[in-house]
A and B are shown apart, each in its own frame.
Chain A
Amino acid sequence: GENVEQHPSTLSVQEGDSAVIKCTYSDSASNYFPWYKQELGKRPQLIIDIRSNVGEKKDQRIAVTLNKTAKHFSLHITETQPEDSAVYFCAANSGSARQLTFGSGTQLTVLP
């Protein structure tokens, strides 16, 4: 089955700096890669997603890049703010039912 590895597990940045979280996947047939943000004690929420037919997607301060050849994708957050502090999960779809396999999460802390 699909294996999604996520790095780093924790990341601290100063407010205003950029943050990058990286994920690798194993199933070359994966074609959908979402990122979810989960604040402490709250539900995961979709923040951005990308399909395999594009290499990059942006939405204001967040962007995702995809390298299909290397089977890795990354989340980029620019001009970080304290409210960006949360756990971020990447995911990739796979299998006959195209189920999502999630990474283990990255705890991002934005220091004021």
Chain B
Amino acid sequence: EAGVAQSPRYKIIEKRQSVAFWCNPISGHATLYWYQQILGQGPKLLIQFQNNGVVDDSQLPKDRFSAERLKGVDSTLKIQPAKLEDSAVYLCASSPFVAGSNEKLFFGSGTQLSVL
């Protein structure tokens, strides 16, 4: 079974620039999550989708972060403009269970973002 695919693997940008991350979940997984993992901390949920609908985006800084999952499969997360504190690993995860379960999350390898 193919895993959760993410790209790019690494990204270095200057503050105030924009950046986009891409995620392709495991085939058939309806629920998709974006997490932010700052060095030395546990993952923090940014946004959760079920198919192409947003289930929870309460922790997404909407003034600079946006995410979409237009066809209910792959997803993009964008930051515009980036701040120094956005330096982190951005993890995408998917689950075979419906939203509201949050069980059996399968994570991608993440995109490591460095904002200079």
Is A16's beta carbon under 8 Å from chain B? no
Cβ of B66 to closest chain A Cβ, rounded Å:
19
User: How many B residues have CB within 8 A of the partner chain?
Assistant: 24
Q: Which of A63-71, A72-80, A102-110 contacts B (4 or more CB under 8 A)?
A: A102-110
Contact-residue size bin, chain A (C-beta under 8 Å from the other chain): 20 to 34
Interface residues of chain A: helix, strand, loop or mixed (majority): strand
In the bound complex, residues from chain A placing their C-beta under 8 Å from that of B18 are none
User: Who on chain B is nearest to A44 by CB?
Assistant: B107
In the bound complex, residues from chain B placing their C-beta under 8 Å from that of A95 are 56
Does A43 contact B91, Cβ atoms closer than 8 Å? yes
User: Who on chain A is nearest to B44 by CB?
Assistant: A102
Cβ of A49 to closest chain B Cβ, rounded Å:
7
Is A97's beta carbon under 8 Å from chain B? yes
Question: Which one, B55, B91, B100, contacts A44 given CB within 8 A?
Answer: B91
Cβ of A35 to closest chain B Cβ, rounded Å:
12
Known interface pairs A91-B42, A98-B100, A100-B102. Does A43 touch B48 (Cβ–Cβ under 8 Å)?
Answer: no
Does A97 contact B56, Cβ atoms closer than 8 Å? yes
Q: Residue-by-residue, is A35-62 near B (CB-CB < 8 Å gives 1, otherwise 0)? A: 0100000111110010000000000000
User: Who on chain B is nearest to A9 by CB?
Assistant: B40
Question: Which one, A6, A32, A45, A102, contacts B43 given CB within 8 A?
Answer: A102
Does A99 contact B56, Cβ atoms closer than 8 Å? yes
In the bound complex, residues from chain B placing their C-beta under 8 Å from that of A98 are 100-102
User: Who on chain B is nearest to A100 by CB?
Assistant: B102
* Interface of B toward A, CB cutoff 8 Å: 3-4, 40-45, 48, 55-56, 91, 99-110
* Interface of A toward B, CB cutoff 8 Å: 4, 6, 32, 34, 36, 42-46, 49, 89, 91, 93, 95-105
Q: List 10 A-B contacts (CB under 8 A).
A: A4-B42, A36-B107, A43-B108, A43-B110, A44-B43, A45-B107, A46-B106, A49-B103, A49-B104, A97-B102
Q: Which 10 A-B pairs have the closest CB atoms?
A: A102-B42, A97-B56, A43-B107, A44-B107, A89-B42, A100-B102, A98-B102, A43-B109, A99-B45, A98-B100
